[in-house]
Amino acid sequence: MFDWAWPWLFLLLPLPWLVRRWLPPADDQVAALHLPYAGILDPAEIAGGSRRAAAARVLAWLVWVLLVAAVARPQWIGEPADLPRSGRELLLALDVSGSMNIGDMTLSGSQVTRFQAMQAIVGDFIARRAGDRVGLILFGSNAYLLTPLTFDVKTVKTQLDESAVGLAGRETAIGDALGLAVKRLRDRPEAQRVVILLTDGVNTAGEIEPRKAAELARSEKVKVYTIGLGSERMRVDDFFGSRSVNPSADLDAPLLTEIAEKTGGRFFRARDTAELAGIYREIDQLEPAADQSERYRPVAELFHLPLGLALLLVLLPALDPRRYAGLRVAGLNRRYDP
């Protein structure tokens, strides 16, 4: 919508008329223009000069109106938008090692892999974090920062949807992932540094030992929530027939618990998609997103439009002096044209 920031300044519009109306006139003896040859002035010249003088007054008034309009600050006010008051610096460290391809999860009645279940549920969690800076770390044999911390949660979710198992290698570098997360958060406000680390295995790769990474996280005041993903029972068919196995036998739950407790976070165990979704809802409550109740409307200043038009009108006499000149005085032998 269009609006004026200071509409009361339009009260200045009659100021030139008031000045002319109430101030005393200039001394005629001093200000008068004496024409010794007034008797030979061409009446047509006088009439033309009167018209030009009237046009000059109209032009002056128009310039004055435009200047007042510019001072009143015309604005274009945009649509309301949410303004986050405060938020978390939230890094998601997600396991994409080879074991995340194990199909021991169920989603909407269909059998899916751990990675597919993680994509669906973590993606929904990311979409709810409007107002937080969210980043994405993927780790396997190595740890990579896929998306730096950003308010653009749609981009983070898109990056997660486009990732794949094995993108960072087939092994599991928990320590490297946590160390990279701490490095990226150490320059952020202390009370807002949060890491959510999800894995389905045990540390089998990397240069940083997980417990040392946890010590580093504690010293940097980074809170770490850890999630162990994977079913504890799965039926498989082999040469001897169908049998039940524990596909999460390699999950290092004690290590994940120690990391969480050492940094002030919590360890969660997700054996199916329902538990995983519940965990992220609980984390939502433990680490609430920014309050979206405060709103603002972007404002674009438009004062330059009337100001530029006023300047253009002021320059018109210079562009066409014959049209905007004052009275042309006839002399004895020649006429003077400015």
- Please classify residue 158 by burial: count the beta carbons closer than 10 Å to its beta carbon, then call 0-12 exposed, 13-18 middle and 19+ buried: middle
Question: pLDDT digit string (tens) for 193-209?
Answer: 999 999 988 999 999 99
| Predicted local confidence at residue 80, as pLDDT | 72
| Predicted local confidence at residue 38, as pLDDT | 46
Whether 110 shows a pLDDT value over 60: the answer reads yes
| Predicted local confidence at residue 300, as pLDDT | 84
Q: What is the pTM of this model?
A: 0.61
| Predicted local confidence at residue 337, as pLDDT | 40
Nearest to 86 by CA among 192, 231, 181: 192
**Lowest-confidence range among 26-30, 71-75, 90-94?**
26-30
Which band of pLDDT confidence, cut at 50, 70 and 90, is reported for residue 332? very low
Question: pLDDT digit string (tens) for 271-287?
Answer: 888 989 999 999 988 88
Q: Which domains does the chain have, with CATH numbers?
A: 2-23+32-78+298-324 (no CATH), 89-235+243-286 (3.40.50.410)
**Lowest-confidence range among 52-61, 155-164, 221-230?**
52-61
Which band of pLDDT confidence, cut at 50, 70 and 90, is reported for residue 301? confident
Mean pLDDT (whole number) for 323-336: 41
Phi-psi region of 240 (alpha: psi -120 to 50; beta: other; left: phi over 0): alpha
Question: How many other CB atoms are there within 10 angstroms of residue 160's CB atom?
Answer: 20
DSSP 156-181: HHHHHHT--TTTT-SS--HHHHHHHH
Whether 255 shows a pLDDT value over 50: the answer reads yes
